[in-house]
């Protein structure tokens, strides 16, 4: 893989979503972003051939592929879209020649810092303007305790250099914020430690790393204490075995057609092959609480992850209070949930969401501005949003700044479909990070967009 395959400097591109009548049809969404990053990284830590089907070929994941190649792993995509990875073994990566440009990919950057921590050379990380504004101290602190050294820009932001230790020190670490990225970085670093590394999370976060480590033959133990906290432990110096992985459809991408269909009475949509890991399904629970008709059918297990087809019928939704403890299971879905709330009857309150301020953009500010510019009453709290629904179609008519944030761009395109006057997004190019083909797939359901 070479850098020219990815991180293509997409040109800013405005797009307007036109109010949609009913949405109908079947579709599938691209592979899960979280699982795709992990498949490339863990595949690169094995010796032998790992095969990955259904990989998300969005810019974020391709940035991780380029980075793994720079570390010495061999990654090839065949004509059937199957990825063949020949890795270097745990601790066997080589020093990259240049900067690792992670583009917009927070998951790629933070997980690879955990891997870099176990290699006694210096790796240099950078990213786009959004990634360079995001906090990296949350990953640096535990990795420094494990013996790694960092040199970062002010505020512990990218670009930064990480000099790994060999071996790293095993660590017992209680997560100060519920973050699967931080958990995963520490566990990946722990693979290189002479002893057991344990991460303690008070609130469960997505567990794809734990599941996939097991799929690669690693020993991982998970225990829950009396307070309900999960203790995830990995012994170091384990060999990973190559694996075959089928990446399920991303529930965070399915969220957009699901909300669009759920909010237009008479719509009927099936999204096939979506991951329904319970750590990711909070949006679907919340939509059901709001009165949405949403069924999981054809439930099955694919490579250690639960998968189902999602059947959605449009209905009139009502506002609800979203339990704050549900946040880790739907952390990326609040922008599109807020769009559903804008169409519902009554108030929807979402709290406990300070983390949304440090995502690809400040999502609380982005959603509040986008909704109010389209005629929806919304109160922005320090850690949440209260949206007053319109009991039907919001006015729309506004132009929303995507702020280099794919999920803001897609959420407000959905608002446009659900509105009376349509909504314009100033730049939809960030959608390529997670959902290539978004507009075409939505068009297949009956949506219309104009450039
Ligand atoms: C992710 C974890 C979440 C999520 C992100 C993907 C992952 O971030 O928002 O899109 O793949 O581990 P945090 O760990 O910062 O909560």
Q: How far apart are the C-alpha atoms of 119 and 164, rounded to whole Å?
A: 5
- Among candidate residues 210, 235, 260, the one where a domain is terminated: 235
| 23 plus 38 within the same structural domain | no
Distance of CA 31 to the CA centre of its chain: 11
What residue owns the CA closest to ligand 1's atom 4? 332
Identify the pLDDT of residue 10. 66
Confidence at residue 4, expressed as pLDDT on a 0 to 100 scale: 35
Task: State the average pLDDT over residues 377-384.
Answer: 98
Is 376 among the domain residues? yes
- What is the pLDDT at residue 12? 77
HEC string of the chain equals CCHHHCCCCCCCCCEEEECCCCCEEEEECCECHHHHHHHHHHHCCCCCEEEEECCCCCHHHHHHHHHHHHCCCEEEECCCCCEEEECCCCCCCCCCCCCEECCCCHHHHHHHHHHHCCCCCEEEEECCCCHHHCCCHHHHHHHHHCCCEEEEECCCEEEEEEECCCCCCCCEEECCCCCHHHHHHHHHHHCCCCCEEEEEECCCCCCHHHHHHHHCCCCCEEEECCCCCEEEEEECCCCCCCCEEECCECHHHHHHHHHHHHCCCCCEEEEEEEECCCCCCHHHHHHHHCCCEEEEEEEEEECCEEEEEEEEECCCCECCEECHHHHHHCCCCHHHHHHHHHHCECEEEECCCHHHHHCCCCHHHHHHHHHHCCCCEEEEECCEEEEECCCCCCCCCCEECCCCCHHHHHHHHHHHHHCCCCEEECCCHHHHHCCCCHHHHHHHCCCEEEC
Give mean pLDDT, residues 154-171.
97
Give yes or no: residues 175 and 284 share one domain: no
Average pLDDT over every residue of 308-312: 98
**pTM, to two decimals:** 0.97
80 is catalytic: no
% residues pLDDT > 70 (the chain): 98
Query: In this model, does residue 216 exceed pLDDT 50?
Result: yes
Range in 6-10, 35-39, 235-239, 317-321 with the lowest mean pLDDT: 6-10
Q: Measured from the CA of 181, which atom of ligand 1 is nearest?
A: 14
Residue finishing a domain among 235, 260, 279 = 235
pLDDT of 110:
98
pLDDT on residue 5: 35
Q: Whose CA is nearest to atom 9 of ligand 1?
A: 332
User: Quick one: 65 and 159 in the same domain?
Assistant: yes
The catalytically annotated residue of 32, 250, 309, 332 is 332
Residue matched to tokens 């906290």: 229
Instruction: Give mean pLDDT, residues 170-174.
Output: 98
295 plus 334 within the same structural domain: yes
CA dihedral 35, 40, 46, 52 (to 10 degrees): 70
pLDDT at 8 over 90: no
Instruction: Tell me if 69 is assigned to some domain.
Output: yes
Mean pLDDT of 429-447: 97
Is 25 in the same domain as 39?
no
Q: Can you give the pLDDT at residue 11?
A: 77
The model's pLDDT over 287-305, given as tens digits with 9 standing for 90+, comes to: 999 999 999 999 999 988 9
Do 290 and 423 belong to one domain? Answer: yes
Residue 243, in any domain of the structure = no
Pocket of ligand 1 (CB under 6 A): 34, 107, 179-181, 184, 206, 331-332, 355
Same domain, yes or no: 425 and 307? yes
Ligand 1 atom showing the smallest separation from residue 180 Cα: 14
Judge whether 386 and 379 are in contact, CB under 8 Å.
yes
- Using one digit for the tens of pLDDT, what is the confidence trace for 50-106? 999 999 999 999 999 999 999 999 999 999 999 999 999 999 999 999 999 999 999
Distance CA(366)–CA(53), nearest Å, equals 34
> Residue 320: is its pLDDT beyond 50?
yes
Q: CATH no. for residue 89?
A: 3.65.10.10
Query: Is residue 3 domain-resident?
Result: no
Closest residue by Cα to atom 11, ligand 1, is 34
Q: Are residues 192 and 301 in the same domain?
A: no
What is the average pLDDT value for the chain, to the nearest integer?
A: 96
pLDDT given at position 1: 55
* Residue 36: count of CB within 10 angstroms of its CB: 30
* Shared-domain flag, residues 43 and 27: no
Same domain, 58 and 137: yes
Number of domains the chain contains: 2
Domain span including residue 113 = 33-235
The verdict on residue 241 lying in a domain is no
Structure confidence at residue 57 (pLDDT): 98
Residue 6 has pLDDT above 70, yes or no: no
């Amino acid at each position: 893989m070479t850098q020219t395959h990815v991180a293509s400097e997409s040109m800013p591109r405005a797009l307007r979503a036109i109010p949609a009548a009913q949405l109908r049809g079947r579709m599938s969404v691209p592979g899960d972003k979280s699982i795709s990053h992990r498949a490339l990284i863990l595949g690169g830590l094995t010796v032998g051939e790992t095969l990955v089907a259904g990989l998300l070929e969005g810019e974020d994941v391709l940035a991780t592929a380029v980075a793994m190649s720079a570390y010495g792993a061999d990654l090839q995509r065949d004509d059937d879209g199957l990825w063949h990875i020949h890795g270097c073994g745990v601790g066997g990566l080589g020093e990259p020649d240049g900067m690792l440009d992670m583009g917009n990919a927070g998951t790629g950057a933070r997980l690879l810092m955990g891997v870099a921590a176990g290699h006694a050379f210096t790796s240099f990380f950078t990213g786009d303007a959004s990634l360079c504004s995001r906090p990296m101290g949350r990953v640096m602190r535990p990795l420094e305790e494990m013996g790694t050294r960092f040199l970062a820009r002010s505020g512990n932001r990218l670009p930064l250099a990480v000099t790994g230790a060999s071996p790293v020190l095993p660590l017992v670490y209680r997560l100060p914020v519920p973050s699967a990225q931080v958990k995963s970085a520490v566990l990946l670093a722990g693979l290189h430690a002479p002893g057991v590394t344990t991460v303690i999370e008070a609130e469960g976060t997505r567990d794809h790393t734990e599941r996939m480590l097991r799929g690669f033959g690693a020993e991982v133990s998970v225990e829950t204490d009396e307070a309900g906290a999960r203790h995830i432990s990995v012994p170091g110096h384990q060999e990973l075995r190559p694996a075959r992985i089928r990446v399920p459809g991303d529930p965070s991408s399915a969220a957009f057609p699901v909300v669009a269909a759920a909010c237009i009475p008479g719509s009927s949509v099936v999204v096939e092959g979506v991951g329904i890991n319970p750590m990711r399904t909070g949006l679907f629970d919340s939509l059901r609480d709001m009165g949405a008709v949403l069924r999981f059918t054809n439930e099955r297990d694919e490579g250690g992850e639960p998968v189902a087809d999602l059947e959605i019928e449009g209905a009139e939704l009502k506002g609800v209070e979203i339990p704050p403890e549900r946040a880790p299971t739907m952390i990326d879905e609040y922008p599109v949930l807020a769009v559903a709330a804008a169409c519902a009857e009554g108030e929807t309150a979402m709290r406990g969401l300070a983390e949304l301020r440090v995502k690809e953009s400040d999502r609380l500010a982005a959603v509040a501005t986008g909704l109010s510019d389209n005629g929806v009453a919304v109160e922005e709290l320090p850690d949440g949003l209260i949206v007053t629904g319109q009991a039907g179609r919001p006015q729309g008519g506004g132009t929303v700044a995507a702020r280099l944030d794919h999920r803001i761009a897609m959420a407000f395109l959905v608002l446009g479909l659900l509105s009376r006057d349509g909504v314009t997004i100033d730049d939809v190019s960030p959608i390529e990070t997670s959902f290539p083909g978004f507009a075409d797939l939505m068009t297949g359901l009956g949506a219309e967009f104009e450039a």
